[in-house]
A and B are shown apart, each in its own frame.
Chain A
Amino acid sequence: DAGVTQSPTHLIKTRGQHVTLRCSPISGHKSVSWYQQVLGQGPQFIFQYYEKEERGRGNFPDRFSARQFPNYSSELNVNALLLGDSALYLCASSLVFLANEKLFFGSGTQLSVL
């Protein structure tokens, strides 16, 4: 069975541009979460979606947005990119969204903003 897949794997953008990152969860998983991992730090929670509804949002500016599609895949959009947005963006999926549930992570999209 396929794990969580993310695309693209690497991306280079310039300041002010827009970027869209994509995530396909494990088949049957209805919850998708997004995390930002800056080099040398732990992942920071950005969004969680369950059954196509936003169920949680971390402390990120409105330049960050996301959505979940009927097939449970998800997109993360970032507008007006800043140098500080350079990071590894991780997508995670789970069956539902219970507090003690295991998350399955993709390998991430490495975003570099020049």
Chain B
Amino acid sequence: GNSVTQMEGPVTLSEEAFLTINCTYTATGYPSLFWYVQYPGEGLQLLLKATKADDKGSNKGFEATYRKETTSFHLEKGSVQVSDSAVYFCALSRQDNAGNMLTFGGGTRLMVKP
């Protein structure tokens, strides 16, 4: 079956540091890949997505590249801010007629200190 594995947190960084959150997946076929972010007290929000191999998703300074050869979709940001403190979830959706049901990783909490 499909599964997503993320690096465990919390990840604690100083402001302006470089961020990498690792994500690897197991899936049949060619899933779409997503990063969702959950700020305290809020629902999940889509951060970025990629729908085929070698696609790069980007938003708000965050980037992730769909690497089929390594089954990875690592999230990166060059300079984090305190406002980036949140929980980040990597997810995939099945690429068949079963719709857009998502399989999520366990989440990685990011804490950015001033």
Contact = CB atoms under 8 A, between A and B. Distances in A.
A74 to B, nearest CB: 15
Given A42-B106, A99-B32, A100-B49, A33 B101 contact: yes
Nearest to A49: B99
B24 interface: no
Interface in B1-47: 4, 31-32, 36, 41-46
The interface residues of chain A, by DSSP majority, are classed as loop
Contacts of A31: 99-100
A7 to B, nearest CB: 14
Contacts, number: 73
A99 B94 CA distance: 6
Nearest to B96: A99
A43 B102 contact: yes
Interface in A60-78: none
A106 interface: yes
A113 to B, nearest CB: 21
Interface of B: 4, 31-32, 36, 41-46, 49, 51, 89, 91, 93-96, 98-107
29 contacts: A4-B43, A33-B100, A41-B106, A42-B4, A42-B91, A42-B107, A43-B89, A43-B104, A44-B104, A45-B101, A45-B103, A48-B101, A50-B99, A56-B98, A56-B101, A90-B43, A90-B44, A94-B100, A99-B32, A99-B95, A99-B96, A100-B93, A102-B46, A102-B49, A103-B46, A103-B102, A106-B43, A107-B41, A107-B42
Interface of A: 3-4, 31, 33, 35, 40-45, 48, 50, 55-56, 58, 90, 92, 94, 97-103, 105-108
* Nearest 3 interchain pairs by C-beta: A42-B104, A97-B99, A105-B43
